[in-house]
Structure 1
Amino acid sequence: MDSEQDPEQGPNTTARPQVDRVAPPAYDNFHAGLGNTGLPIPPPATNGKFYFESQAEETIELGLCPEPPYHPNGDTGPGPQTWFARLKFKCDNVPQLMREGLHWSLDNVQWEDGYMDLKDRLPEPQSILDKIINRYCLGYDLTHTRHYFLRDLQVPSRWIAHLQVHAGDIKDLSDIRLENISIDNICYTYAFSVGENKNIYGYETWDLESSFNAVYDDTPLEGWWPWPKKDRRRRLA
């Protein structure tokens, strides 16, 4: 969903649009109605086939955890967490999402494609960043993974996305509710150019002064871009 909503609105508020937080949809209502007749036939569970078969590149990644370190004491990264998530976007035009805002909500989630990988191992690394995150997750025994897949609702879609949530306990994965995740959970965000994968955007909660946007400098960005915001151009307090 691409409309903006007030981050201060509660879970069941629909009167005003929301910007930075996931808008809780008719998530509970949907599940409550599963036993009713007359519902549309759901799509088959294909484990994110539409995402993995897409030839588009992964050009945006958000790292999320329960308690991001805004001012860590000497550590360069998040400390121990009960879960750690990576939200990867395949998008051919990152500057467009910078100008229009990076927005997603539960309406974008392709629920039938979700699954859990309980093999007590992490996905094979395909990049240096993958190796860094895998090393972190292995260090804290976050080796079970829950997968979600998302799609932009505009036609044609500007992006598709893959959310991987790593945890050490199956119950922690089962208890994950996406409506409880917000921009406040972001610990890093990186964006890359198409082709050579050059860094064009960087944000880390443990090094706020090194945030950069190589495309639009400190122009405020909307939605799930954590920096810069209109009221905090250089530093998140």
Structure 2
Amino acid sequence: MKPKWLEKDLRQKCQSASSSSPPPYENPRKKTTKPKRAPPANPGATYNASKASEKIIFTIFSEPQRPRAEQSWWGYLRVKTANVPRLMQEGLSFGPENMLSEEGYMCLTPKAFPAPDGSTAQDVTAKWPHVRHFYLRDTRWSPRWLAHLECAGTDNAALAGIRPCELTHHHVVQCVAWASKNSQIYNFVRQRPQDFVNCVYDDMPLEGLWPHPKPLGNCEAGAKQEDPDLYTSPPNK
């Protein structure tokens, strides 16, 4: 029979050991994983290397209810894909996982930057002197689309606040899609919704960035803007 003082001492040691040991669901030898090593900066490498053609162009305003002259930034989202109807069926949307962060960059607004409302290149470069470029990619093993968002801004602060993943169809003032260079299959201009045409799916509601038509309860009245034709020329390729 053990003395009481010995039993008390053993009991205290057991309680001390149990309080200091990790819970059974914790691994005391758990290793911390290092973050994935970032690749070097390589502006637009993935998009430029793709042989796919630009089939969709979204014209995007920071404040779509205002005319272009009052925008702090505006730009174009160009999408390369081999199957526009599939993107219509599935909807086009993206999140942080789609960002090719190491491929983005900023530069002076080039003289060739498209002026959608007939403004001269001098007008564009004077009011929006810098352009920020973002690149995105479908996360599937075989990507169904690549995207290039180029935004012209009044200053660096305006461009620094752009978050592509926060863009919605409300920011889109025009969208044009082509089956081939001279075969337009989708055209929507916000201030002329009555002229909308979808040659593939007519009035089928479209999800994601597609501006029109939207599912019931997700509609928005066309904004009255001063700009005439925003972007009606076919893609470069």
* TM exceeding 0.5: yes
Amino acid at match of 2:79: F
- Counterpart position of 1:38: 34
Query: What does 1:8-47 correspond to in 2, within 5 Å?
Result: 38-47=34-43
- Counterpart position of 2:179: 193
SS at match of 1:165: strand
* C-alpha deviation, 1:189, in angstroms: 0.8
Question: Kindly tell me: are residues 99 and 179 of structure 1, through their superposed partners in 2, closer, same or farther at Cα, counting changes over 3 Å?
Answer: closer
Counterpart among 183, 190, 194 of residue 209 in structure 1:
194
1:91–1:160 contact (8 Å) kept in structure 2: yes
Find the aligned partners of 2:129 and 2:98 in 1 and give their Cα distance. Answer: 26
Counterpart among 85, 93, 97 of residue 103 in structure 1:
93
- Counterpart position of 1:68: 64
1:89–1:159 contact (8 Å) kept in structure 2: yes
Amino acid at match of 2:137: R
1:122–1:134 contact (8 Å) kept in structure 2: no
SS at match of 1:52: helix
Counterpart among 96, 105, 112 of residue 124 in structure 1:
112
SS at match of 2:220: coil
Higher helix proportion (structure 1 or 2): 2
State the TM-score, normalizing by the size of structure 2.
Answer: 0.71
Amino acid at match of 2:102: E
State the TM-score, normalizing by the size of structure 1.
Answer: 0.71
For the aligned residue pairs, the C-alpha RMSD in angstroms reads 2.5
SS at match of 2:116: helix
* C-alpha deviation, 1:79, in angstroms: 4.2
Amino acid at match of 1:38: K
1:57 aligns with 2:53: yes
Question: Kindly tell me: are residues 91 and 179 of structure 1, through their superposed partners in 2, closer, same or farther at Cα, counting changes over 3 Å?
Answer: closer
- Counterpart position of 1:142: 128
Question: Kindly tell me: are residues 189 and 213 of structure 1, through their superposed partners in 2, closer, same or farther at Cα, counting changes over 3 Å?
Answer: same
- Encode CA deviations 1:92-111: one digit per residue, 9 max, x unaligned: 11011111211212221100
1:86–1:163 contact (8 Å) kept in structure 2: yes
Question: Kindly tell me: are residues 137 and 124 of structure 1, through their superposed partners in 2, closer, same or farther at Cα, counting changes over 3 Å?
Answer: closer
Amino acid at match of 2:40: P
2:94–2:165 contact (8 Å) kept in structure 1: no
Find the aligned partners of 2:208 and 2:73 in 1 and give their Cα distance. Answer: 23
